[in-house]
Amino acid sequence: MEDDRDENGDRTGVEPGAVEYEPVGVKHLLSEMKDTAELLIDLSYSSVLFGSQSVAQEVLTLEQRMDVLQLKARMSLLMAARNPSDAEALAPVLGVVAATEKISDAAGDIAKIVTEEIGLPDAVRGALPEALETLVSIELAENSDLVGRTLGDRNLETETGVRVIALRRQGEWLLNPDRQTEPKAGDVLLLRGPEEGIDTVYTEVTGREYPTPDPPKMEIEDVGRAVDSIVLMKNMSELAVDLAYGAVLFDNRAVAREVRELEIEVDALQSRFEAWTLRAASRVDDTVSLRGLVHLAQSSEVISDAALEISDGVLRGLDTHPVVTAAVEESVEIITRLEIDPDSTLDDETLGDQLVSTKTGMRVIAVRRGTGENAEWIVSPGPDTRLKAGDVIIAKGTRAGSDRLEAMTSE
């Protein structure tokens, strides 16, 4: 018997937005939730740091999508539990679902700083690290040069350094579109890249000059310290999420412990942030402008807590359920673990000298040197980090980038 549906595809007699059980694979749902959560973190902070209403609205749209995904995942997991043994095995998976949903909610709270015009000091924009890439949301017009051509034909990333990280068409999201993707008029593209590249692409697509904001000055020292803490909390929270998924994928308790250490450090940063913010409150003309900083700090702390929850099963010595491992492996941005061979071009070279990120498109998020109790972990290595034969690197990026990185570690 066929379901009765209206012209929008909704079941008749069911409230719009209602979610019903459908036989959907948990692996697919978890993979999409991971990709969506990571995109939400990126978009939410970018919406605040660049004051973008359009990007903030995309965050809220994706947050609604995540609500549906987590409900479907819970339903599927409940249907899969047939006995106490199944329940024990699936309980950590429910924990991952809950933690991912928590990240989504925190990202939505960050975006509301922009959409609800919650106060935020101008100094936030000035605190951006120079290397931070710009992210913008653009709706394609009929006469755009991108319409009717594949992304590969235009070759944006090679020529401008700008990558299309997501595309929304008629309410449906395509995360990480590839070279064969053909944008259409009315599509909303999310672009990420260096500001000069964004300027070029924005003008090409819209016919208007990109409105580059001028970074304001920090007039009060304690506000500057609070803003610096926020930027550091943001970076640590994002790293914690990446490492948490890595800990789950490789069932690595050492990496999970790094997540716990990051969470502890974020807690400590939040305490210092609160002290600096309270001091600054007596010296700013508009105290309400500090509300946004408080929201950012709280949400960043929630994201780091969620990262710890994702890796909690590994810390407790519980076996990672195969469905979680498969979901992480099949997500858009994968996490890979590679060992540097003695004959590798990376041996005794720095990440910056070998242009690892530029050549591969992969971001090295951790390096392990040594084994067992004597292992040393370098978390969030920089361009000056020198690699050695035998080092194990954990990196994040596309599958094509992973193949290029693997070639560098072995030749």
* CA nearest neighbour of 323 among 34, 25, 117: 25
The Cα 136–Cα 194 span in angstroms is 11
How many helices (H) and strands (E) in the chain? 14, 8
Query: Do residues 160 and 136 lie in contact, with contact meaning Cβ atoms separated by under 8 Å?
Result: no
The pLDDT, as a whole number, for residue 108 is: 94
> Please, where are the H alpha helices in 311-395?
312-315, 322-329, 356-360
The pLDDT, as a whole number, for residue 9 is: 45
Q: How far is CA 356 from CA 239, 278, 280, in A?
A: 18, 42, 41
Q: In sequence order, what are the beta bridge partners of 167? A: 174, 189
The pLDDT, as a whole number, for residue 13 is: 47
The pLDDT, as a whole number, for residue 268 is: 87
What region, left, alpha or beta, does residue 144 occupy, with left being phi > 0 and alpha being psi -120 to 50 degrees? beta
Structural domains of the chain, with CATH: 26-117 (1.20.58.220), 134-206 (3.30.70.1450), 221-315 (1.20.58.220), 334-410 (3.30.70.1450)
pLDDT tens, the chain, 411 aa long = 344 544 444 444 444 456 565 666 788 888 888 888 988 888 888 788 767 787 888 899 889 989 989 998 888 888 887 788 877 778 888 889 999 999 999 999 999 988 888 867 665 555 544 445 667 777 887 878 778 888 878 777 667 777 787 788 887 777 767 778 888 888 888 787 777 777 888 877 777 777 665 554 545 556 667 777 777 788 788 888 888 888 888 888 878 888 898 899 888 888 888 887 777 777 767 677 778 888 888 899 999 999 999 998 888 887 778 888 888 877 767 788 888 998 898 999 998 888 887 788 788 888 888 876 677 777 778 788 899 998 888 888 777 788 888 899 887
The pLDDT, as a whole number, for residue 307 is: 93
- For tokens 């919650």, the residue is 118
The pLDDT, as a whole number, for residue 10 is: 45
Strand ranges in 118-244 using DSSP code E only, listed in sequence order: 134-139, 163-169, 172-175, 188-193
The pLDDT, as a whole number, for residue 305 is: 94
The Cα 143–Cα 147 span in angstroms is 7
CB atoms within 10 A of CB 36: 25
For residue 157, give every residue at least 6 positions away whose Cβ sits within 8 Å of its Cβ, in sequence order, or none: 163, 193
pTM above 0.75, yes or no: no
The Cα 40–Cα 101 span in angstroms is 11
Handedness of CA 341, 404, 249, 297 (dihedral sign): positive
The Cα 398–Cα 164 span in angstroms is 13
* CA nearest neighbour of 376 among 258, 247, 204: 258
The pLDDT, as a whole number, for residue 19 is: 59
Q: Are strands 172-175 and 163-169 parallel, antiparallel or unpaired?
A: antiparallel
- For tokens 């017009």, the residue is 141
